[in-house]
Structure formats: C-alpha cells, structure tokens
Structure 1
Amino acid sequence: MTVVQFNPLTSTVSPSLWHALTKLKIDVLKLSQDTVPISASYSAGRTVTDRETGTDVPLPSTLTVAGEAFEATTTLPSHSVSALGVLKNFNTIEEFKAADKQALFNDVAQEIWNSIKSSPDPSKDLSRFLLITFADLKKYKFYYWFAFPAFISKPAWEIEESGWQTAEDNLGRGALESIFTSAQSLGGSSTPAFFLARPSSIPSEYETAPLGQYATFFANTAQSSRIVAFLDPSAHPQHPGWPLRNALFYISYLHSLSPHSAQPLRLSVLCLRDSELPGPEKPWKSRFGIVSLPLAPGASAPLEEGGARPAAVGWEKNTLGKLAPRMADLAPMMDPTQLADQAVDLNLKLMRWRILPSLDLERVSSTRCLLLGAGTLGCYVGRGLMAWGVRTITFVDSGRVSFSNPVRQPLFEFEDCLNGGKPKAEAAAAALKRVFPGVNATGHTLSIPMPGHPIPSSPPSLVEQARADVEKLEKLIDEHDVVFLLMDSRESRWLPTLLGKAKGKVVINAALGFDTYLVMRHGARTSEADVPKLGCYYCNDIVAPADSLTDRTLDQMCTVTRPGLASIASSTAVELLVSLLQHPKGNHAPSPKPSQSGSQRDPSAQDAGDESSVLGLVPHQLRGYLAQFNNVLITGAAYERCTGCSEIVISAYEKEGFEMMLKAFNQPGYLEQLTGLDKLHAEGEAALESVDWEEEEGEGEDDF
C-alpha cells in the first residue's frame, strides 16, 4: 500500500481580475480591509500526445480567477466547476508582508471544517480558497498569494499496489458512459465537482447522487461497489488533484460518526479527466483507483463530533517553487492612454476615501464645458477642468497664437507662434489631448458678434457670416452644459450671457484687472416668485455694453495684469463650478447669506444648509484683491432692466432671433430702449434739473 499523493492546485489570474480589483478598491473598499467573496473555476486536467515522440504530455488545469470574480452571479466556462473563496486586500505593502497569514488561512480552513460538520452537502466549500493581495494602483503592480486549505488525514489514505489506472480498463466503457451521463443530470448538463456512483439493478448502468448523500446513498451498498467521483484538475498519471483531499477527509469524518467506525474504510475513486464523452475511437482519459483508510489507535478521535479542527496545509508556491507571494505587473501590457485615464480617476477618487465620501465625481466628469476664449484664462481653466476629470472641453476663439502668448498661456509653445501662429482654439485643444489623450477636446475658430461693433449691410456676405457665427455659437451652447466667459472685452460677453440664460445653461464668468479679479456664476432663469434671482455680469450696469476696443492704446487693448492673477482667477472659476455641480439644487443653488456684521461673508464659514454643497459654500460672486491677498464674497440681485439677462431681452431674442441681435449690434441705444434704461436716464436727468442748488456764501466766480 502506498500513501496517496495529491497534485497541488495552481492559480491563473486573468489581467481582468486586477482591473476589477482596482475598481473595487477605489469605489467600494477604499480603506477597508474586510474580506470580500470571490469566485473562480477549474476544469478537468488533460493530456496531449507529442507528435514527434508519441508520449503523453500532462496539461493540468489551474484555478482560474477572472474579472467577473466579484460578481454575485457568473457564467462558468464550459466543462468547468466553480470554486468559492475570499479575498483580503491590504492598504500598504508593509501590511501585506506583516499580515498574520496563518490566522487568515485558519479562518478559511475553519469555514471548510464548519461546512463538513454541519452542511447537508459541503461540496461547494471543499475547494474553498484564500487570496490575499496588495494593489499598488500608482504603478499597477499587484502582489498576491493563494491558499487552498486541505485537511491532513491521520492516518493517511493509501492506494492499493495497482495504483491509479485507466478507468476504462477497470470499469468498462459502458459503465463510464452511464456514470458520466447520470452525473451531468445532477449538475444541470455539467459535471458536478464531486458526486457518488453505485451500480444499478440494470447491468452496466450506474446511479449517481450528490456527495452530501453519502450515508444514505451507500447505506446498503458494499464498500467494493462505492465510487466517489470528482472532476480532477490534475493530469499526473499517479497523483489525483488537490480537491480530492478534502472530499476524502469529509468521507472519513462521516465514517468516524458511523456505527462501523471501528472497521477499515475502503473506496473506489474515479478521477474524471474527460470533459465530454469520447468518440468511439478515442480512449477515456479518466483514472481509477481503490483507496483505503487504515485503522490506527485513536485515529478517529479528532474527527468526533465537536472535536477540534484538524491541521491543514495548502499555501501555493511561487514560480521558483518557494512558499512566497507572486507579483503581477500590468503596466507594460496596458495601453498608456488607459493608464492615464485610470490615474486621473484614482487621484480624484482618493478624495472620497477619507475626506468627501459623498463627492459625485461622475457628475463632474460628465459635464460638457464650453470655454469662450482660449487666452490666459481659457488655458488655465482648461487645465483645471481636466484635473477635475472633466472629459469634454471645447474652446472657442477667433485669434492666433502670438509670440507673447506662450509664457503666460500654458497650453501654447514657441512652435505654435511660427508662420503667423496657429489658431488658438485648435492649438489649445490639441495641447489638452497631448497632456491627457482621454479628454474629448475640440477647438473652433469663431468670431462672436458684439454690441457696439456694427455689421455693415454691404456686402451682404458680412451679415450672412454674422448669422452663421451666431448659429454656430447657439449650437455649441446647446451641446454643452456649462459656458465659461473668458474673453478679453466686456462686450464680447453679452451674446453668450443672453444665450446661456435663455437656454438654461450654467454660465461662469471670469474677468481680470491689474491686481483684482472677478469670478461669478450668472443667475439661473426661474419663474418662481419666492426664489431669489441672482444677477449676471451686466446687472450692475445702467448702460448697454459698447465698443471698448476702438481708439485704445496698446496697454488699454491688452489685459495688463499681474502674471499670477490669471491662474488664481481660473482656478477659482473651476472650483466654483465644481461646488455648484455638487449642490443638490445645481444651477439654482442659493448664494450664501451675508454675515451679521456686514455684507462680507466669512470665507471660512462652512454652514450646513441650502447654501452649501459637500465642498462648502457656493457663492454668487468672488472679488479678489491680490494686493491685500483678500477675497470678498458678494451677492448681486438680478436687475429687471439688465441688458444681458432680463426677461425683456430674453423674450425679444426668443421672439425675433437673429434680427433682434442685429439691432443690438448695429443700433446704439437699442438695448437701453428695449429695457427702459433710456427712460431711467431721462428721469434721472430731469430729477437733477428740478433740484434748486444753493451756493454757499463766498462761492462765486471771483473766488477762482
């Protein structure tokens, strides 16, 4: 008699598992180190014949873990069986190395032991496994170690001198076909991992049953006729696969509880290595052997009901044959674009681990942003949006890159200035894609018609070009969720202010002075009377926007500002948008209330309530003063006669369309007349003239 030797299980991990673990770690586990259920599969081992030598080459099956391992229900590969396990992921490599691996191993072994003692059918737990991991998500390296706990039988199972033989020679082809067909009916057309077989009353026919019915199924069956069968992942001719070890231990446990425990235990074992019925000319690959459990003094004591859990072994060896973890490096095989995409998500999702669990990053990434102006503000805003994970960024600009631009506008380089300069919008979009290929960045060269800049009616093509420009701008605003106003002139902001309000878009405005800046969100359009209405860029004006570019010196035409101011204002504009997106009311979020001491709100206040999002306050306007390094939060009410966002102007646009715009572009005073500002001016002048100004004594022409 020879002690039965079992061929250890080995693992094969699909790269898709590491992608699934990355997503699980970032979105679900975060800093948790709780164990999570995981599933795997294995199939029958097989042999192939070497064409040159004619010898059989063993090809054992491995325990395969794929990307679906964390899903509640998975589709098994054909001719495979499922194995259940647990995964424990550690947060640091130091914790992975220092982990009490024996305690983790014992926990899984205890689960198997509990199932053996109490489950009606422990088959699903006999191949239970453990996987411990550390995921280095910055380098895409994954350290892991599998364990397949199997109990040590004392005394050990023995195989008769004849050893493991071809099942066809021992049972016959007809018996094997009967066993195979009957077993498939147990597993619903697939062979179960473990099952029992016995001869039926019909010659060469066999009956099968689940492993858990061992005591009742074999109650009146002689030991010589009892067959324990299992899907064998081993391909070694004399070493059955690792799953048989726990199956035999389960049977020995049942035997220790039976009235016949003092008698030796003898079984026939069928190692199924055929995934389907072989053809008439093909031999069966399955193996067959007779094993026995010899008697030994006190051998059954540890197996008695309520006894201590037996010792177990089963850590997997690495490729060097040592008991040590393995490492999978995915970086070389991954598309660099995909690496960058996952890295962007990682940096953002880390915020949710400890600081902001309720941060809705998907809402940010899905927001489509239109940037009107690809200058200093536009370049910095584009980079800020991309850092927040925004995937759709569109630039609009009418200019070309000049030699003065690259040092102040971070999306341009010296080469962009050559040969007359590249179009700024297209160059900025191309630069974003160079930084991060996963961004959907596009650029459009487009002139935005402006009040105070008349469009001559002759030649007619000028009016048609203006009409086409307006239609394109309307289409772009329709296709985006947010419009950033980042242009140089005041009047160029009028048309997108009107369109953004009319179309219900979020409008973020940023403007620069020498050492001051303004960042604001335009108020949303609403018909609710009790909802405070926030103003736009023009709501504080009592005149319509006019030509601010003609007859200006160079310093008046260019935005002369401290170099660091643009990046501050741009970052503030992006952060204001993200805070707004996180507010439950979105674009209708109220502005913070003034502090009791005055109109300026304490910037450090983080009051809960309608005025705050998970990122804090959502102000209406921020005015920054770099000379004092100070920010002031201001709330400005919408003005009913505003030339940019009032209902009077919006209604005229919705009724007349381009014709209304053409009047605003060409006719001085049109917007004042439309909104009634001209009457307001007249009333003001009349009021001044009606005042009887008194001169103080001593004042007169002789005093000058």
Structure 2
Amino acid sequence: MPIVQFAPFSSLVQPTFWHELTSLKIDVLRLSDEAVPITGSYSVGRSITDRETGHEIVLGCNMSVGSESFDKNAVAPAGSFPAKGHLKNYNTIEEFKAADKTALFNQEADKMWEAIVSKRDSTSLNNFLVITFADLKKYKYYYWFAFPAFAAKPAWEIDELGWRLAASELSPESLSSIHSKLHATPLPFFLLRSGLEIAPIDSYSTFFANVPPEEQTIGFVDPSASPTNPGWPLRNLLAYLRAVYPETTSRLRVLCWRDSEVPHAPAGWKSRIGVVHITPSPESGGRPSAVGWEKNPQGKLAPRMADLAPMMDPTRLADQAVDLNLKLMRWRILPSLDLEKISSTKCLLLGAGTLGCYVARTLMGWGVRDITLVDSGKVSFSNPVRQPLFEFEDCLEGGKPKAECAAARMKKIFPGINAAGHSLSIPMPGHPVPPASVDQTRADVKKLEELIDTHDAVFLLMDSRESRWLPTVICAAKGKIVLNAALGFDTFLVMRHGVRESSLQPGATQLGCYYCNDIVAPADSLTDRTLDEMCTVTRPGIASLASSTAVELLASVLQHPDGVHAAAPPANSDPAALINAGVLGLVPHQLRGFLAQFRNLHIVGAAYSRCTGCSETVLKAYEKEGFDMILQALNDDKYLQHLTGLDTLYAEGEKALEEVDWDVDDEEGEDF
C-alpha cells in the first residue's frame, strides 16, 4: 500500500510580527534570550484556479504569525485555529548561527511528547518553535521555524482507494452538520460517529465506546489543499492516538476537513476522506524520532531573512530609529529610566537663536516629540555657522522668520516631530509701550500665556536679561518647569527655577529664580549698545555646552521622584556623593560653567522674598490684575521696585551709608 505523505507547515510571517518583536526586544527582552510563548494560527487548505489552464493550484500549508502572536489573550482570526509556540531571540548573529538547533528541537519535541503521553493534551499537537535574530539598525530579521512532527515506524499506509472526496461517503446533510458544529465550537481535532455527532479528540475512549469501527471517523482541520497529501497536523494526531490508544488505532478512518464554507452545490465539498493503517509493533516506550525544521525557499535546511527596510514607511523607520539609542540605554544601563515621561513632555523654547537651536536638537535626541519655538527675529548671514537649524538659503531676501524656519528644519530632520514656530515679541520691563501699541502688546501677552499654558517645560534662551522677566512671572504662577540658560564669553549659567512659595512641600527650601539675586528691577539693557554688546560674543563651544546642560537638567528633573520639587544638592558638594540624586544623578539648582578652567560649579540660590520675578507679591499682583499689572511694569521703571519693596531696601541702605563715619585718622593713615 502507498505510504502516507504529509504536507509540512510553511511559515507565513506578517510584517507586524517583526514590528512587535522589535518592541519586545527593546522594551522587555533586552539582553535576555529566554524563550517566550507566542501563538500562530492556521486554517483549512486553499487552492486557486489558473485562469489560463483551468488547473487547480494548491496554496501553501501555512502557519501564520503576526503582531497578535505575542498577546496571550488574542483570539485566532475567524475560521482559523490557534497553535502554541515558543520564540527564542538571540542577541547577535553569531549566537544565532552557533545555536545548537538539534538540542533546541529535541527539547521542544520532548515537551510535546510529555504533553501527549502523560497529560493526554491534544492542544500541544501543533506546537512550533522559532529562533530569531533582529538586526534593529538595518531592519533585517533572521529566523528559522521548526514544526516538530513524530515519525511513525513502520510508516502509515493508505488503502487502495486513496484519499477521496468526503462527499463520496458522507451525505451533504452530514457535511453541513459537521460544518455547522465546527463553526459553533472550533475543534482542530475531532471525533465523528454515525456521520453526524462530533466530540473533542480527548474523548476517544468514551465517545467511541460500543460504536462499530466502520462508523468511527477521526477528523482534523486540514491546512493542506493537496489531493494526495494531508497536512502536517495529521502526523502528530496519529502519533497521539497510537501512543494513548494503541489497541484500537492501527486502522483509522480519517476525515481531512477542508471546507470553510458550505458550497452552493453538493459537488463543491472539498474535504477528503481515507483509511490509513499501520502494522502494529512492540512498544518502544520512548519518544519516536521527530523532524520539522523548515526549509528555505531554495529547498535547503537553512534560516530565512526578512528585510523590512525597503517596504517600510521611511517616517516609521525614523520614528523607531530615533528612539533606539534611548531604549538601548535603558535596558543596558538604566532599567528604571522612564523614557515615556521625557518623550511626552511638551517643551516651549523662548528664543530660536544659538541656544534655542542647540536645545531643540538635544531635546530631539532625548525623544521629545512636542517642541515649540518663539522668536521675533529673522535668520541673518551670521547665524547658520553657529545655529545648527539654519542654512545659507534661509538668510536670503531679508531672512526667514527664525522660529518658523527652525521648526520646519526640525521636521525635515525628523518628520515625526511635532514642531511649531511663532514669531512673537516678548514685552520687556524698561521698554515702554506707546499707546498705539497697547492692543498688540496685549495680544502678544495673551499668546505667550496660551503657549506657556499648553506646555510642560519652558526654556528661557533669549539675548537680554529683561526679556526673561515676563515668562518667569507667568511660569511661576502656572507652576511650570523653567530652565534658564545664559552665556558669557567663556562662562555660562544654567539653572532651574524653584517652585513658588505657596506650592512648597512641607519642610522644603524654596529655590530662587533668575532674578532672586538682583536688588534692582530688570531694566533696558539693549539701548545704546555697541556692536560687540549687540551680539553675543562667546567662545563657539559655550552655546552647545550650556544648551546640552540645560536639556540634561530637564531630563534629571523629570526622572527625579519629586520632579519639579526636587531638592538641590548642597553647593559645592562632592558630586560622587549623589546627594538628593535621581535616576540620572544630581539635580542641581544652578550650574556655572567656566570654559577657561574646564569646570562646572554647583550653586544653590535661595529664593528672595522681594524678587521681582517669583516673589508672592509679584505673582499675586499678576494673578489679580493681569495685563494691567504687566503694562505698568513695562512702562514704569519704578513700579516693580515699589511693588516688591526694593525701593525701601535701597533707601534704607543709602541711609545706613550716610550714618557711617568715613573720616580716617591721619596718623593711622601714615602708619598704614
């Protein structure tokens, strides 16, 4: 009699499977190569008709995997049946190539046989294994599937009638009944008696009790459409029955179920039926040999490779690639790093010049997706060499608006960024507003308030000291994170503003803002400046150092458990002590960098009760009077000093100086 030939499974890997594996590798597995459970699915075998020849072309006996394969609670698609598998991902291509495939395969086969013999678990009959290596930089995925199948000795044979259409022995009513019952209760393996009643395969001993052999049928959902070769699941089903019920399974009537729909005509049923038999042999007691490593398209026992780069949307490729370094950093060095907290922080950059451009680039490097820039200037010919978001073409015809131009360039660098630019003049103390410009100033203030309201962190990166006053007041009132960066020739200052006094945590010390060290109100520092004073004259490396430091300080604040309320380490403390540190280390209040000495100095500045930027007096006046208070501060250079009491302090100081006796004894002077 002819030996039964089985159609092996072929893997059908959806692109979504690789996307999900990428996320799993970066976020969960990291350096682990432990096997993880996955699921696959298969359905009845299918074929298509060649329009030219009219011949039936058999499609592959496919086991499909996709993104849902990693979801433990996923349900197989309608008309499909699940299969359990394990995925083992290797960290390097060398480890993938050197893996002991024989040992891995035998381990999986042993588990299946144990489930069959000891647990009588038919759900393990279609188990599979896949080993992978994911080259996440090139989006190439190397993989090899194994579908363990137990070899029968001697081999199964098919009787002289071979595999024939089931409709030749079962009535259309019986076939319709089977279809209806399998649709209601999907069973990859089932028992059929009297042509009508079905039951799970595990009910073999009871379901077939007192049933004549000629009325017993073993059924399975057949993923093969070949007229002569049933699908791979039958091979393990027969091994299962022989191992568990050897006395009654040497001759079996098998139904290969291949009908996903009820045909319009009785002749349209595709399922096949046949009688297979095996010569009984003494039980060996051990697991039979197994085969099942998948062949590649060239017909060789070798792995396959999926190259997703050509078929992927470049924007999506970039979206995954820009975060790769960050995620590698997390799973290699800082498992507790909360990247999502950083990437979801909306950042407002006031100033799109040298500092603004470098801050924006560094924020992009940290994975920040929402960045808004504000500037009132246009790109000039001196900008591109120092400001990395501009090019020569941006300077032509009077120059493009800086903020909008920088935002557009960021989108060219990374299309996934949500970048916006606004041309906006920030009102400044010491710069009076003419009556004709009050409405425009009111609109500018309202726009600035709206921008600060919709962002989480604000960077003060402007050229002048007084331009930072209004954002300082608004941010303090709204409880925003504020990062300040300012440049000297070979020095820089980077600081975070403290929270307002009314929102301090019990026992906490209030940290100062940019203006807390001043004993005068901010005033006009722009009028009548010389050329060198109108330009920021600095060593070229200072801006990138200060900008990077400011962004890293924001990251440290976001990763600290107390966030914006994080206490500053003591001034000049040993950095190695990591006092009040977070995940990324210290969260200082102020950093003063000295490039001539190549060192940074930690400074802690306490808040000043008479500060013109963050004192409760100023904030309450702003919250109560709004724009009227701001307009008065802009037009009256004495207003803020009077509001905060700095004028009284100044008067007291002058009076104290008047009372000092400055006369010096002549003789003491001679001796001196």
Tell me if the contact between 1:580 and 1:589 (Cα under 8 Å) persists in the aligned partners: yes
C-alpha deviation, 1:154, in angstroms? 1.1
Q: Which residue of 1 aligns with 2:472?
A: 497
For residue 631 of structure 2, the aligned residue among 659, 662, 668 is 662
- Listed one character per residue, the Cα deviations across residues 64-119 of structure 1 (whole Å, up to 9, x for unaligned) are 11110000122322221111101111111111000011111112111210111122
Q: Which residue of 1 aligns with 2:445?
A: 470
Query: What CA distance in whole angstroms lies between the structure 2 residues aligned with 1:183 and 1:570?
Result: 66
Query: What CA distance in whole angstroms lies between the structure 2 residues aligned with 1:668 and 1:54?
Result: 93
For residue 282 of structure 2, the aligned residue among 285, 288, 300 is 300
Q: Which residue of 2 aligns with 1:696?
A: 665
Q: Which residue of 1 aligns with 2:552?
A: 575
Q: Which residue of 1 aligns with 2:618?
A: 649
Query: What CA distance in whole angstroms lies between the structure 1 residues aligned with 2:528 and 2:667?
Result: 42
- Listed one character per residue, the Cα deviations across residues 463-487 of structure 1 (whole Å, up to 9, x for unaligned) are 1111111111111100111110001
Q: Which residue of 2 aligns with 1:616?
A: 585
The residue identity in structure 2 corresponding to 1:108 is E
TM-score by length of 2: 0.97
In the alignment, is residue 247 of structure 1 matched against residue 237 of structure 2? Answer: yes
Query: What CA distance in whole angstroms lies between the structure 2 residues aligned with 1:51 and 1:558?
Result: 76
Tell me if the contact between 1:215 and 1:254 (Cα under 8 Å) persists in the aligned partners: no
The residue identity in structure 1 corresponding to 2:586 is L
In the alignment, is residue 70 of structure 1 matched against residue 43 of structure 2? Answer: no
Query: What CA distance in whole angstroms lies between the structure 2 residues aligned with 1:54 and 1:658?
Result: 82
The residue identity in structure 1 corresponding to 2:96 is F
User: SS in structure 1 opposite 2:666?
Assistant: coil
In the alignment, is residue 552 of structure 1 matched against residue 529 of structure 2? Answer: yes
Q: Which residue of 2 aligns with 1:285?
A: 270
Q: Which residue of 2 aligns with 1:438?
A: 416
C-alpha deviation, 1:691, in angstroms? 1.6
The residue identity in structure 2 corresponding to 1:160 is D
Q: Which residue of 2 aligns with 1:370?
A: 348
Identity fraction in percent: 65
**CA 1:562 to 1:216, structure 2 compared with 1: closer, same or farther past 3 Å?**
same
Q: Which residue of 2 aligns with 1:682?
A: 651
Q: Which residue of 1 aligns with 2:101?
A: 101
C-alpha deviation, 1:308, in angstroms? 2.5
In the alignment, is residue 275 of structure 1 matched against residue 260 of structure 2? Answer: yes
Q: Which residue of 2 aligns with 1:174?
A: 173
Query: What CA distance in whole angstroms lies between the structure 2 residues aligned with 1:48 and 1:532?
Result: 77
Q: Which residue of 2 aligns with 1:232?
A: 222
**CA 1:51 to 1:401, structure 2 compared with 1: closer, same or farther past 3 Å?**
closer
C-alpha deviation, 1:223, in angstroms? 2.7
The residue identity in structure 1 corresponding to 2:564 is N
The residue identity in structure 1 corresponding to 2:108 is V
After superposition, residues 293-692 of structure 1 pair within 5 angstroms as: 293-295=278-280, 299-302=281-284, 307-457=285-435, 460=436, 462-527=437-502, 528=504, 530-594=507-571, 600-607=572-579, 611-692=580-661
Tell me if the contact between 1:123 and 1:193 (Cα under 8 Å) persists in the aligned partners: no
Query: What CA distance in whole angstroms lies between the structure 1 residues aligned with 2:485 and 2:593?
Result: 11
User: SS in structure 2 opposite 1:604?
Assistant: helix
Query: What CA distance in whole angstroms lies between the structure 1 residues aligned with 2:426 and 2:183?
Result: 73
Tell me if the contact between 1:255 and 1:265 (Cα under 8 Å) persists in the aligned partners: no
In the alignment, is residue 135 of structure 1 matched against residue 134 of structure 2? Answer: yes
Q: Which residue of 2 aligns with 1:220?
A: 210
Tell me if the contact between 2:172 and 2:266 (Cα under 8 Å) persists in the aligned partners: no
C-alpha deviation, 1:182, in angstroms? 4.0
Query: What CA distance in whole angstroms lies between the structure 2 residues aligned with 1:561 and 1:283?
Result: 84
Q: Which residue of 2 aligns with 1:597?
A: none
- Listed one character per residue, the Cα deviations across residues 23-62 of structure 1 (whole Å, up to 9, x for unaligned) are 1111111111111111111111133333443332223441
- Listed one character per residue, the Cα deviations across residues 170-216 of structure 1 (whole Å, up to 9, x for unaligned) are 2333333343334445x2xx3x11001111xxxxx522111111122
Query: What CA distance in whole angstroms lies between the structure 2 residues aligned with 1:526 and 1:116?
Result: 70
After superposition, residues 47-126 of structure 1 pair within 5 angstroms as: 47-120=47-120, 122-126=121-125
User: SS in structure 2 opposite 1:301?
Assistant: coil
Query: What CA distance in whole angstroms lies between the structure 1 residues aligned with 2:489 and 2:658?
Result: 38
C-alpha deviation, 1:169, in angstroms? 1.0
C-alpha deviation, 1:236, in angstroms? 1.1
User: SS in structure 1 opposite 2:654?
Assistant: helix
C-alpha deviation, 1:699, in angstroms? 8.4
- Listed one character per residue, the Cα deviations across residues 208-247 of structure 1 (whole Å, up to 9, x for unaligned) are 1111111222232233332100011111111100000000
In the alignment, is residue 40 of structure 1 matched against residue 26 of structure 2? Answer: no
The residue identity in structure 1 corresponding to 2:106 is N
C-alpha deviation, 1:354, in angstroms? 1.9
Query: What CA distance in whole angstroms lies between the structure 1 residues aligned with 2:662 and 2:510?
Result: 39
Gapped regions of structure 1 (runs ≥ 5): 200-204, 595-599
The residue identity in structure 2 corresponding to 1:151 is F
The residue identity in structure 2 corresponding to 1:270 is L
Gapped regions of structure 2 (runs ≥ 5): none
User: SS in structure 2 opposite 1:3?
Assistant: coil
Tell me if the contact between 1:272 and 1:287 (Cα under 8 Å) persists in the aligned partners: yes
Query: What CA distance in whole angstroms lies between the structure 2 residues aligned with 1:173 and 1:225?
Result: 17
C-alpha deviation, 1:693, in angstroms? 2.4
CA RMSD of aligned residues (A): 1.6
Q: Which residue of 2 aligns with 1:202?
A: none
Query: What CA distance in whole angstroms lies between the structure 2 residues aligned with 1:216 and 1:324?
Result: 44
C-alpha deviation, 1:284, in angstroms? 1.1
Tell me if the contact between 2:518 and 2:611 (Cα under 8 Å) persists in the aligned partners: yes
For residue 198 of structure 1, the aligned residue among 184, 193, 210 is 193
**CA 1:179 to 1:553, structure 2 compared with 1: closer, same or farther past 3 Å?**
closer
C-alpha deviation, 1:355, in angstroms? 0.8
C-alpha deviation, 1:282, in angstroms? 4.1
Tell me if the contact between 2:83 and 2:127 (Cα under 8 Å) persists in the aligned partners: yes
Query: What CA distance in whole angstroms lies between the structure 2 residues aligned with 1:75 and 1:602?
Result: 57
User: SS in structure 2 opposite 1:422?
Assistant: coil
